[in-house]
Structure 1
Amino acid sequence: MINIHVMVILLLSFKQSFGIEVNITKKFPKSIGTLYSVQFDRKLHMTIPDECANLDFCEEIPDFPEDEISKLINLLIADKMTFNQDREATFDEHMDAGRAINLCRSRLTFIQPKAVKVGNEWHLVLNSESNMVQSFRGEICMDAQNAPCSSLVNFNRGFTGHCVQKYMETRMIVLSKNYDEVIALPQSVPSCCSCMAFQL
């Protein structure tokens, strides 16, 4: 009997008149790990700019393979792949702007990465200018880690308050290091800046 969990069961390809070709081979089961094998008609690479060297995300890659990634995204969407798409907020929906006051200075972020660093390795994220399918909304503390909370809040004797950056784990769809697999990787994104009490 054929084991469908290890056999290749689907081959999709996309080729346009100007020669760009992308082939994907679907893998089962779908879980965190390899989702598809992929073949491009040229060798891909990327250069991480200096301004992203100390970050976990990069939204501008000078040699990003726009056409290939866009075609790949189209194939995955045709195969019912779903992506994380947070929407950008125009105001803080979690607060009554006329009455509530943040206890920590923070700013909302809206990340649409084209590369992500996991461990010490950078991966191409499946996002393109024409197919921006992965977006992540969060909040970043504006002051240094463990900065004091607002003076508006008082703590019981023996306690103090600090602003703490919190993170949420999400799933990002990226290319493997060798650009030959579509993989799902867990990645932490900044979710909120919280005023927390600590015992002295």
Structure 2
Amino acid sequence: MENRLSRAEKRAATAARILEAAQAEFGAHGADGASIRGIAKRAEVDPSLVLQHYGSKQALFALAVRPAADLRSDDVPAHLAEVLEVRLRELPPATRALMRSMLTSPEAAAVMSDYLNERATNLAKSLPGADAEARAALVTASILGITIARHFLNLSALADLTADQISAVTDSWFDSLDVTVAPGPPA
């Protein structure tokens, strides 16, 4: 017996394909350079379907660059080393789109600002000391800078780092900022 998709399932699959294509297109060309036609071509749909599903390029952009699910504040320090390693490898399409567009699109700038402020606030809650907010902001801003240098400016020294090299550098960096990257054994 052939397994057929319902109309709602087909519609959801098309919407997901368009969103994925939009992330790739915005990642490649930014908010201003991407077009509905380019997104439709990448998704292999008619351009009218893009608008039917998402209403406008701006609405689609806002969804395409939305950061992944938030972490609880107690997960943030342990997550930092993982984030750095991921940022030095391949960027997810939504992240690439957001970063490529954050300096030219007010919508992208607002999304990025909100996301970075949330990350810094959550990290600060998990750090000791009166200067926890400043240290958290420095770590957050540094990860952003590392990501830009690696993926958009092609800083060659970052391109070929191994996981061990990343760990060695980040461990000493985090130590200097008094950031615990992994929970230690109970005292």
Instruction: Give the TM-score taking structure 2 as reference length.
Output: 0.24
* The structure with more helix, counted as a fraction of residues: 2
With CA pairs under 8 Å and 6+ residues apart, which has the higher RCO, 1 or 2?
Answer: 2
Greater share of strand residues, 1 or 2? Answer: 1
Structure (1 or 2) with the larger CA radius of gyration: 1
TM-score between both structures, scaled by the size of structure 1: 0.23
